[in-house]
Chains A and B, each alone.
Chain A
């Protein structure tokens, strides 16, 4: 047992009740109202599952389903886009909610879908879906399309033109519904944040000179998976040579970390669909140099400014403006060669989503909203540095999740 395990209790899903069916039904009711409000006949949600940056949120949110089967590459004989690892939902203003899944009944027997009807495909998702859609869709009215960016060209081509003509892309509709979490959802989000924090502490403890980046990350992976969570995205970067905010996660990470370098780590995890996300930076094997310390302290100042601006009624734009102002005061901010991200973070729920923390975000934040606030940059001579916090907007202000 490692020193960390003796200090920290195990985090597990075992004693945490899942989100109850009633919550899904309430979400469906709100989605129906939203569709009606927008003058739509309903929402058609298309999702892709089984991987990082999955786009499953709308179906998981509305019907408790993530397609997790393996994506089959399109080189089989007579391939026409069979849709493995994809799924869809028809949620009308009135009538049955219909879920379309990519597996036959006997392969889905352990899972509780929240839908009035489930259409199962033994091989080709669209082959089973298209006749059923023909049966359930109303004859007229626009249909709100969610997940248009994960409808790939071969599948799009198979939808009848008369149906495609009725689609109105409504990407943010379900995302907006998800922003304010109820207590059952907050319980899962809090646990997801705890798992991510727990994993990060393990990584930082293991990040010592002479070990590899992936070796340190392995400590985090082990804790994330043991808790029942899934890794959506992970990155590690150390040393001044790393000058991208997007480390090449295919090949990087196996080099040894060096004394005196800064090492930045990032996890995005999913716990039964709920996302926890964290970034942290440490100095390897000792105290940071004055220049490194200045940059790291600057990140803290930015985050503190952002947290101070976060509360009910304020906007993500207010938070971004506060971060911008704090950033401008940092010495490195004037360096033209510093690489900065395009935002200071985003909303969290079942994926990364609204509101984006940029100065143009204008919608007031509501209690129950969770934000991922991050300060990251890449500075020549230092490398990539990153820190973050998860903020829950409360009735009276905010609460940091970990």
Chain B
């Protein structure tokens, strides 16, 4: 059992959340909007709670129960937030926050609903709050809102008034506070430990599942919630995950298989995300060596380009240039040079993204992943990923997991 512990984190202070709320309201005013509705789904992987968590420090943790359980469960595992024209933050949840004594919620009002009444109460309050004006209402989290709820909400506030801005929340969160940066460093440390454990356990005869277990469990013991634990050793597959589980529990690894691990999750809500490769037996073929080297070098070309004032596009184009001149591309010119090279990290993976055509400027305190996966059918998948925070002078690297291909067999 891993016994290492992480340094304790100071609790989230009210001022930080109030600052987020103030910035949200300020942005609404700048856009001449009088309020917004935020919708969130919780309960583990694929959560879409980020907007609500960021603005209130509340995470809906109950399960999203299927509709076969009846209408009394329809809102289970969800939460909503209304930001009113007079800057009130009204949180709706189907779980009583009073039962989570360590959980400090920042909202002017908290409406504890039943699962069945959640959507209805949201609609009633929204109708009242946004009455008397035909002005548009911004909705965050609409992609996590089932269409029947959307129709009820649209009916309550007036058809055609709801619109979405998918970047509003991401823009608000793009620059991380010093505390958020500490949380990202802690989370990355857990990711490094987990991935090193997994990669160290790779051996012929073991299944992907057997190799994954110690790393996953070690991360969980630090309080991490893994979102994605993509391990792939089967050269017949270039899919990023196996089916129907993320790890193959049947097929034993064979000498010479290229293994890729991409681990994403969160610790105290903040993301870890790291990808590495290793060849079973540590005797890579020339092609495997070229693939992993090309992915690593391209990512690092991007990392070295990171500094405040450059654009995400410039970072991505540095990656592209490295890949273009790699030995792999000479050997396999049919490989397409990707446009996409990573994503912002924080409470989730999101934008701004590291895209070659992005003109978004990097600011000190932004944190993001630079990553790439190169697939060759019959050979496998080589992935490499690093996390960085934009520092006043350059970058701060968050990921220190061992590069097995360079240090052992590359």
A interface with B by C-beta (< 8 Å)? 12-14, 18, 48, 50-55, 60, 64-66, 68-71, 73-77, 79, 81, 85, 103, 106-111, 148-157, 171-172, 175, 212, 214-215, 217-219, 221-230, 232-233, 241-244, 246-255, 270-273, 339, 342-343, 346, 351-354, 356, 378
B249 touches A227 (CB 8 A): yes
Shortest beta-carbon distance from B358 to chain A in Å: 9
Question: Does chain A have a CB within 8 A of B225?
Answer: yes
Digit string of B167-182 for contact with A (CB within 8 Å is 1, else 0)? 1011000000000000
A249 touches B44 (CB 8 A): yes
Nearest 3 pairs between A and B by C-beta?
A228-B249, A51-B45, A51-B46
Nearest neighbor of A172 in chain B, beta-carbon distance: B68
B218 touches A218 (CB 8 A): yes
B209 touches A254 (CB 8 A): no
Enumerate chain B residues within 8 angstroms of A12, measured Cβ to Cβ: 207, 210, 249
A352 touches B214 (CB 8 A): no
| Assembly CA distance A54 to B246 (angstroms) | 13
Enumerate chain B residues within 8 angstroms of A70, measured Cβ to Cβ: 228, 240, 264, 349
Enumerate chain B residues within 8 angstroms of A68, measured Cβ to Cβ: 241-244, 246
Interface residues on B, range: 35 or more
Q: Knowing A55-B66, A74-B166, A250-B61 are in contact, say whether A226-B213 is a contact too (CB < 8 A).
A: yes
A148 touches B148 (CB 8 A): yes
Residues in B215-239 with C-beta less than 8 Å from chain A: 216-218, 220-223, 225, 227-228, 234, 236-239
Shortest beta-carbon distance from A349 to chain B in Å: 11
Digit string of B376-393 for contact with A (CB within 8 Å is 1, else 0)? 010000000000000000
Candidates A69, A172, A225, A352; contact of B213 at CB < 8 Å: A225
Q: Knowing A74-B143, A228-B207, A251-B269 are in contact, say whether A270-B245 is a contact too (CB < 8 A).
A: yes
Shortest beta-carbon distance from A249 to chain B in Å: 5
Enumerate chain A residues within 8 angstroms of B348, measured Cβ to Cβ: 73
B99 touches A251 (CB 8 A): no
Enumerate chain A residues within 8 angstroms of B166, measured Cβ to Cβ: 73-76, 79
Shortest beta-carbon distance from B333 to chain A in Å: 18
| Assembly CA distance A275 to B40 (angstroms) | 26
Enumerate chain B residues within 8 angstroms of A77, measured Cβ to Cβ: 355
Candidates B44, B103, B209, B222; contact of A53 at CB < 8 Å: B44
Enumerate chain B residues within 8 angstroms of A53, measured Cβ to Cβ: 43-44, 63-65, 77
A221 touches B220 (CB 8 A): yes
A229 touches B239 (CB 8 A): no
- The contact sample of 9 A-B pairs, CB cut-off 8 A, is A13-B209, A110-B237, A149-B146, A152-B146, A214-B221, A250-B59, A252-B102, A253-B223, A255-B102
A249 touches B225 (CB 8 A): yes
Shortest beta-carbon distance from A121 to chain B in Å: 14
Enumerate chain B residues within 8 angstroms of A106, measured Cβ to Cβ: 238, 375, 377
Q: Knowing A13-B250, A219-B217, A225-B247 are in contact, say whether A254-B223 is a contact too (CB < 8 A).
A: yes
Enumerate chain A residues within 8 angstroms of B252, measured Cβ to Cβ: 14
B68 touches A222 (CB 8 A): no
Count of A-B contacts with CB under 8 A? Answer: 257
Further pairs besides A229-B245, A250-B42: 5, Cβ < 8 Å: A50-B46, A60-B244, A64-B244, A342-B72, A356-B68
Enumerate chain A residues within 8 angstroms of B100, measured Cβ to Cβ: 244, 247-248, 252
A76 touches B61 (CB 8 A): no
B interface with A by C-beta (< 8 Å)? 1, 42-48, 53, 59, 61-70, 72, 74, 77, 95-96, 99-103, 142-150, 164, 166-167, 169-170, 207, 209-210, 212-214, 216-218, 220-223, 225, 227-228, 234, 236-250, 252, 264, 266, 268-269, 348-351, 353, 355, 375, 377
Enumerate chain A residues within 8 angstroms of B149, measured Cβ to Cβ: 153
Candidates A18, A224, A246; contact of B61 at CB < 8 Å: A246
A154 touches B59 (CB 8 A): no
Shortest beta-carbon distance from A202 to chain B in Å: 10
Candidates B99, B218, B249, B349; contact of A73 at CB < 8 Å: B349
Shortest beta-carbon distance from A55 to chain B in Å: 6
Shortest beta-carbon distance from B39 to chain A in Å: 9
Nearest neighbor of B250 in chain A, beta-carbon distance: A13
Q: Knowing A14-B207, A228-B248 are in contact, say whether A156-B150 is a contact too (CB < 8 A).
A: yes
Nearest neighbor of B252 in chain A, beta-carbon distance: A14
| Assembly CA distance A13 to B250 (angstroms) | 6
Enumerate chain A residues within 8 angstroms of B43, measured Cβ to Cβ: 52-53, 233, 249
Q: Pick the most buried of A73, A221, A222: most chain B CB atoms within 10 A of its CB.
A: A73
Shortest beta-carbon distance from B156 to chain A in Å: 14
Nearest neighbor of A224 in chain B, beta-carbon distance: B213
Candidates A214, A232, A273; contact of B244 at CB < 8 Å: A273
B239 touches A108 (CB 8 A): yes
Enumerate chain B residues within 8 angstroms of A242, measured Cβ to Cβ: 99
| Assembly CA distance A255 to B375 (angstroms) | 42
Shortest beta-carbon distance from A128 to chain B in Å: 17
| Assembly CA distance A79 to B168 (angstroms) | 13
| Assembly CA distance A349 to B169 (angstroms) | 38
Enumerate chain A residues within 8 angstroms of B72, measured Cβ to Cβ: 342
Q: Pick the most buried of A75, A85, A227, A378: most chain B CB atoms within 10 A of its CB.
A: A75
B68 touches A353 (CB 8 A): yes
Q: Knowing A50-B46, A75-B170, A226-B213 are in contact, say whether A250-B225 is a contact too (CB < 8 A).
A: yes
Q: Knowing A110-B242, A241-B101 are in contact, say whether A228-B250 is a contact too (CB < 8 A).
A: yes
Nearest neighbor of A274 in chain B, beta-carbon distance: B244
A110 touches B234 (CB 8 A): yes
A218 touches B220 (CB 8 A): yes
| Assembly CA distance A103 to B72 (angstroms) | 35
Q: Knowing A51-B45, A53-B44, A244-B99 are in contact, say whether A228-B61 is a contact too (CB < 8 A).
A: no
A354 touches B68 (CB 8 A): yes
| Assembly CA distance A353 to B269 (angstroms) | 30
| Assembly CA distance A93 to B95 (angstroms) | 42
Enumerate chain B residues within 8 angstroms of A217, measured Cβ to Cβ: 220-221
Candidates B61, B65, B240, B244; contact of A248 at CB < 8 Å: B61
